[in-house]
Amino acid sequence: MPEMGAKAPALLIDAMLGTLARRLRWLGYDAEYRKDLPDQAMIRIAREENRLLVTRDKELAGRRGVRALYIPATELTEQVQQVIAAVGPSLHPPRCTVCNGELIAISSAEARPLVPPYVAQTQTEFVRCRRCGRVYWPGSHWPGLQRWRQGK
């Protein structure tokens, strides 16, 4: 079991947990997702990037030399609860649900050419993913962002 701490560790999410990875990003966890990689490659990435490996593979989770969290639950809400119980709540803003990139605030002028016209007309605050360029705005398709903003 990983140590508890104020700062949640970076995570490496294994195959079959892609939906969990996206949900954790909503919640502000640094959750990289890889699939179709052999176990040894996952272990190497987890070590090199100092990430906690989150997996449904009990054998993999039990390997020596890697910090891992075994997720027995099959239901998303339970999976999220297991992660939070193990590593603590995230204190960070949401990350890009698509690629796990950091989100940075951009101006309306910057966002205008990147979003649908009705959004440009009705919204004033936008964030953009540093990695893939996707733009998000409050109250849109992204409840995680709204939740975070309301909590501030």
Q: Does residue 120 belong to the site contacting Zn ion (CB under 5 A)?
A: no
Helix, strand or coil for residue 12? strand
State the DSSP code for 98: T
Q: Which residue intervals of 1-152 are DSSP H helices?
A: 18-26, 39-48, 58-61, 76-87, 108-111, 117-122, 143-150
Residue with tokens 């992204």: 142
Task: Give the tokens for residue 16.
Answer: 């079959």
Binder of Zn ion out of 4, 76, 104, 132 (CB under 5 A): 132
Q: Are 8 and 91 in contact (CB under 8 A)?
A: yes
Q: Which stretch binds Zn ion (CB under 5 A): 30-38, 63-71, 76-84, 123-131?
A: 123-131
Q: Does residue 96 belong to the site contacting Zn ion (CB under 5 A)?
A: yes
Of 10 and 99, nearer to Zn ion (C-beta) is: 99
Taking the C-alpha atoms of residue 152 and residue 148, their distance in angstroms, rounded to an integer, is 7
Nearest approach, Cβ of residue 134 and Zn ion (Å): 5
Binder of Zn ion out of 15, 60, 84, 98 (CB under 5 A): 98
Q: Does residue 93 belong to the site contacting Zn ion (CB under 5 A)?
A: no
Q: Does residue 104 belong to the site contacting Zn ion (CB under 5 A)?
A: no
Q: Does residue 131 belong to the site contacting Zn ion (CB under 5 A)?
A: yes
Nearest approach, Cβ of residue 103 and Zn ion (Å): 8
